[in-house]
C-alpha cells in the first residue's frame, strides 16, 4: 500500500510514448517545452514523469479533478456556446505559478501542502469518461486544471474514446508545448486554449517557464489548424502595464486577428496575495487596447455585469450582437448553423453549433459535480 503521494502516483503509470532513449539509460521527454533529460531514477520538472530502468513512466488511469463545466468557463467563447465540457485533470505541472487557483492538484509532488491531493485521486477508464460526459450532457471533453501537456498519453487515450462517441475534445494549456506533443494530440483535439501569462521573459522565469516557448506554442497550435483562444490573467503590478498589454495584443494580431483574447481578473490566491484584485477599469483598458490593436474578438472576464459589451460576441463585419452572455450563461444566440452572421452573412470564426436550436439559453451557468 502506498505510504506517500509519490508512491501512489508512481503506481498509476505506464511506459510513455513522448520520449527518446539516450546514452547511459537517460531519456529525453517531449511532453513540454522543458524537454527534460531525465537520468535513471530521476523525475522531470513536472515531477510526475520519471525514468525507471531507462524507460519513461507517465501518468495513467486516474483523474485528480473532474467536473462538468460550462464551456465558457474554460474559457472558450467560440466553441459550442452554452454546452457543458466534461473537464478532467491529473496531478503535477511544468510551471509553479504563485497565483495558481488549482495549486492543490498542479503543485502536487512539489509543494508539501498539496500532498492532500492524494485523496482526490480517482481511478477512471476512458469508457467511464464518455459515460459521464453523456450523463452531464457534455458535448466537449477537456483536459485542464493541471497542465494537460504532461499527461498527454492519458488524455489521448480518453480522447480516442470520446471522439469515437461524437464528442469534441480540447486542451486548456499554458502553451509550453513541443512539435512532438502537438503532432501527438492533434488528431484528437479541435480546440486549444492558451494562458499567455506575460510578455516579459523575466516574469515567465518566475513562473517556471520561458516566454518564447509559449509564443512558439501559440503559433504552432494555430498553424496546425486548431481553434485557439488566448487568456491573459491581468495582475496589477505584474503584467497590466499599457506597454505589456499592447505587446500581447500585437503578438496575437500578428498570428491572427480572428483569435479571441480574454483579459480576465486576478484575485488573491495561493502564494500571490500582495497585488490588489483586478478591477473592471483595468480589464476595460486592456480590452480596449486589444480592439485598437486590430483584434476582432476581445472579452473581459471574471467580473460579470461590470464590463459592458465585452462579455458578448459581435460580428466583426457589421457589429450585430451574435451571442449575449451573463457570466457563463448564454442569454441570446444568433450564429447560424453555417457559422455565419444572420444579419450580413459574414463567416464567424469558431466552432459553432450545426443546429442553433440545440443551444441552451438561460441555463445554470455553473459547474456540475461528477460523482
Owning domain of residue 118:
62-312
Q: What is the pLDDT of residue 276?
A: 85
Residue 356 belongs to a domain: no
Q: What is the SS3 assignment for the chain?
A: CCCCHHHHHHHCEEECCCEEECHHHCEEECCCCCCCEECCCCECCCCCCEEECCEEEEECCEECEEEEEEHHHCCCCCECCCCEEEEEECCCCCCCCCCCCCHHHHCCCCCHHHHHHHHHCEECCHHHHHHHHHHCCEEEEEECCCCHHHHHHHHHHHHHHHHHCCCEEEEEECCCCCHHHHHHHCCCCCEEEEECCCCCHHHHHHHCCCHHHHHHHHHHHHHCCCEEEEEEEECCCCCCCHHHHHHHHHHHHHHCCCCCEEEEECCCECCECCCCCCCHHHHHHHHHHHHHCCCCCEEEECCCCCCHHHHCEECCCCCCEEEEEECCEEEEECCCCCCECCCCCCECCCECCCCHHHCCCCCCCCCEECC
Q: What is the pLDDT of residue 149?
A: 98
pTM of the model: 0.97
Q: What is the pLDDT of residues 251-299, one digit of tens each?
A: 999 999 999 999 999 987 778 787 789 999 999 999 999 999 999 999 9
As a whole number of angstroms, the longest Cα–Cα distance in the chain is 65
Candidates 259, 270, 252; CA nearest to 199 is: 252
Same domain flag for 48 and 134: no
Q: What local confidence, expressed as pLDDT, does residue 102 receive?
A: 86
Mean model confidence pLDDT for the chain: 96
Q: Is residue 246 a part of any domain in this protein?
A: yes
Same domain, 185 and 100: yes
Q: How far apart are CA 192 and CA 260, in angstroms?
A: 12
336 belongs to a structural domain: no
Same domain, 139 and 48: no
Q: In this structure, is residue 357 part of a structural domain?
A: no
Domain count, the chain: 2
The enclosing domain of 207 has a CATH number of: 3.20.20.70
Whether residue 26 contacts residue 52, with contact meaning beta carbons closer than 8 Å, is answered with no
Together in a domain, 132 and 277: yes
Question: What is the distance between the alpha carbons of residues 173 and 168, in angstroms, rounded to a whole number?
Answer: 16
177 and 159 in a common domain:
yes
167 with 228, same domain: the answer is yes
Hey, how many other C-beta atoms are within 10 angstroms of the C-beta on 103? 22
Same structural domain, 34 and 71 = no
Per-residue pLDDT tens, the chain, 371 aa: give them. Answer: 667 999 999 999 999 999 999 999 999 999 999 999 999 999 999 999 999 999 999 999 999 999 999 999 999 999 999 999 999 999 999 999 988 888 889 999 899 999 999 999 999 999 999 999 999 999 999 999 999 999 999 999 999 999 999 999 999 999 999 999 999 999 999 999 999 999 999 999 999 999 999 999 999 999 999 999 999 999 999 999 999 999 999 999 999 999 999 999 998 777 878 778 999 999 999 999 999 999 999 999 889 999 999 999 999 999 999 999 999 999 999 999 999 999 999 999 999 999 999 999 999 999 998 98
Q: Which pLDDT score, from 0 to 100, does residue 109 have?
A: 87
Domain presence at residue 90: yes
Residue 150 to residue 59: CA distance in whole angstroms: 8
- For 341-358, the pLDDT digits (tens) are 999 999 999 999 999 999
Amino acid at each position: 500500500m502506498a505510504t506517500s503521494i509519490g508512491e501512489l502516483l508512481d503506481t498509476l503509470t505506464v511506459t510513455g510514448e513522448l520520449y527518446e532513449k539516450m546514452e547511459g539509460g537517460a531519456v529525453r521527454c517531449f511532453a513540454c517545452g522543458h524537454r527534460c533529460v531525465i537520468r535513471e531514477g530521476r523525475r522531470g520538472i513536472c515531477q510526475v514523469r520519471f525514468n525507471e530502468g531507462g524507460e519513461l513512466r507517465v501518468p495513467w488511469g486516474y483523474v485528480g479533478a473532474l467536473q462538468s463545466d460550462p464551456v465558457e468557463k474554460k474559457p472558450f467563447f467560440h466553441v459550442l456556446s452554452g454546452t457543458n465540457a466534461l473537464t478532467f485533470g491529473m496531478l503535477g505541472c511544468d510551471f509553479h505559478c504563485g497565483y495558481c487557483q488549482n495549486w492543490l492538484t498542479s503543485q502536487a509532488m512539489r509543494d508539501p501542502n498539496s500532498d492532500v491531493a492524494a485523496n482526490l485521486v480517482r481511478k477512471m477508464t476512458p469508457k467511464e469518461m464518455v459515460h459521464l460526459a453523456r450523463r452531464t450532457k457534455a458535448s466537449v471533453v477537456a483536459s485542464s486544471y493541471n497542465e494537460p501537456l504532461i499527461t498527454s498519453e492519458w488524455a489521448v487515450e480518453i480522447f480516442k474514446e470520446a471522439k469515437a462517441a461524437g464528442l469534441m475534445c480540447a486542451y486548456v494549456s499554458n502553451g509550453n508545448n513541443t512539435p512532438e506533443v502537438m503532432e501527438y494530440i492533434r488528431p484528437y483535439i479541435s480546440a486549444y486554449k492558451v494562458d499567455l501569462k506575460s510578455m516579459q521573459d523575466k516574469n515567465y522565469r518566475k513562473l517556471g517557464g520561458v516566454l518564447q516557448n509559449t509564443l512558439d506554442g501559440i503559433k504552432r497550435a494555430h498553424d496546425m489548424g486548431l481553434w485557439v483562444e488566448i487568456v491573459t490573467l491581468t495582475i496589477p503590478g505584474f503584467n497590466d502595464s499599457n506597454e505589456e498589454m499592447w505587446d500581447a495584443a500585437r503578438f496575437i494580431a500578428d498570428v491572427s486577428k480572428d483569435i479571441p483574447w480574454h483579459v480576465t481578473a486576478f484575485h488573491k490566491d495561493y502564494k500571490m496575495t500582495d497585488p490588489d484584485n483586478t478591477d473592471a477599469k483595468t480589464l476595460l483598458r486592456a480590452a480596449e487596447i486589444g480592439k485598437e490593436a486590430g483584434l476582432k474578438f476581445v472579452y473581459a472576464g471574471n467580473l460579470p455585469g461590470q464590463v459592458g459589451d465585452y462579455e458578448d460576441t459581435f460580428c466583426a463585419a457589421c457589429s450585430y450582437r451574435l451571442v449575449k452572455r451573463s457570466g457563463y450563461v448564454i442569454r441570446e444566440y444568433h450564429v447560424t448553423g453555417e457559422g455565419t452572421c444572420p444579419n450580413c452573412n459574414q463567416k464567424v470564426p469558431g466552432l459553432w453549433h450545426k443546429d442553433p436550436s440545440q443551444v441552451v439559453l438561460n441555463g445554470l451557468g455553473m459547474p456540475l459535480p461528477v460523482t
